[in-house]
């Protein structure tokens, strides 16, 4: 009887340890990624949604970008990728949220996205004022009138997207950047085990997990 009791205690102890219970799983919730509670409905229907939450003011986001571009070259067809700027740095980062959506509205995002990171972190140009951003956008064929119209406080699309991004960041429970969000359910950060390169192994795992769940 004592042996049975002992074995039962061991089993209960093992069940209480997520690292052991999930020994068959390569990645563990609470260790390699976090659950978003409550889960948020994806903005994309019919695909697995991956959202990169970042800021141009974040040096770690800048370092992740080349790795992200490499991953995107082989992105699965059933995955929808979304970039979403956030303002964790407070007012000083809100201007970067508007800069991102201004570039999107003006159709120059593909040219300006990496260039913004390079200017801020490699060339040490802060781009933290409307005037500095206007001069930056001029390098990509955007005249002052077009920039001011898109960037200004009366810009409906930029206001809508910027406010939604800041709200979603809060609902996703974003505490640091960069963070990857999978289907509104899972959060992956480089502060978890393995650093930035390990992010993509966890990302691929969670995508496969969501794909399997959708096919049940």
> For position 184, which CATH number holds?
3.40.30.10
Q: How far apart are CA 20 and CA 12, in angstroms?
A: 11
Are 133 and 183 members of one domain? Answer: yes
Q: pLDDT band at residue 7, thresholds of 50, 70 and 90?
A: very low
Residue 11 has pLDDT above 50, yes or no: no
Q: What mean pLDDT comes out for the span 61-76?
A: 96
Mean pLDDT score of the chain: 89
Stated as kind and residue range, the H or E segment containing 139 is: none
Q: Largest Cα–Cα distance in the chain?
A: 84
**C-alpha Rg value of the chain to the nearest Å:** 21
Q: Quick one: what percent of the chain has pLDDT higher than 90?
A: 78
Indicate whether 93 and 170 sit together in one domain.
yes
Q: Give the global pTM.
A: 0.86
Confidence of residue 1 (pLDDT cuts 50, 70, 90): low
Could you give the CA distance from residue 9 to residue 38 in angstroms, rounded to a whole number?
A: 33
Q: Which domain holds residue 1?
A: 1-26
Note whether 10 and 92 are same-domain residues. Answer: no
109 and 47 together in one domain: yes
- pLDDT higher than 50, residue 169: yes
Quick one: 50 and 125 in the same domain?
yes
Q: What are phi and psi of 23, to 5 degrees?
A: -60, -30
The dihedral of CA 86, 112, 42, 165: what is its sign?
A: positive
Number of domains in the chain: 2
What is the predicted pLDDT for the residue at 3?
Answer: 47
The answer to whether residues 147 and 198 belong to one domain is yes
CA 98/CA 57 separation, integer angstroms: 13
Q: Kindly state whether residues 10 and 41 are assigned to the same domain.
A: no
């Amino acid at each position: 009887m004592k042996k049975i009791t002992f074995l039962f205690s061991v089993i209960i102890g093992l069940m209480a340890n997520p690292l052991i219970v999930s020994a068959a799983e390569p990645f563990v919730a609470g260790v390699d990624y976090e659950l978003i509670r409550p889960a948020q409905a994806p903005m994309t229907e019919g695909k697995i949604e991956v959202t990169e939450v970042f800021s141009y003011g974040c040096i770690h986001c800048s370092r992740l970008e080349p790795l992200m571009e490499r991953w995107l070259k082989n992105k699965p067809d059933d995955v929808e990728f979304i970039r979403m700027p956030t303002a964790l740095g407070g007012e000083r980062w809100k201007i970067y949220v508007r800069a991102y959506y201004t570039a999107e509205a003006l159709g120059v995002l593909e040219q300006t996205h990496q260039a913004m990171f390079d200017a801020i972190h490699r060339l040490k140009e802060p781009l933290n004022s409307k005037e500095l951003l206007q001069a930056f956008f001029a390098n990509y064929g955007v005249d002052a009138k077009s920039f001011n119209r898109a960037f200004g406080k009366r810009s409906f699309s930029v206001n809508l997207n910027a406010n939604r991004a800041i709200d979603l960041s809060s609902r996703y429970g974003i505490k640091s950047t960069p963070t990857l969000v999978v289907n509104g359910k899972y959060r992956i950060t480089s502060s978890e085990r393995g650093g930035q390169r390990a992010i993509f192994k966890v990302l691929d795992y969670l995508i496969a997990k969501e794909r399997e769940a959708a096919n049940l």
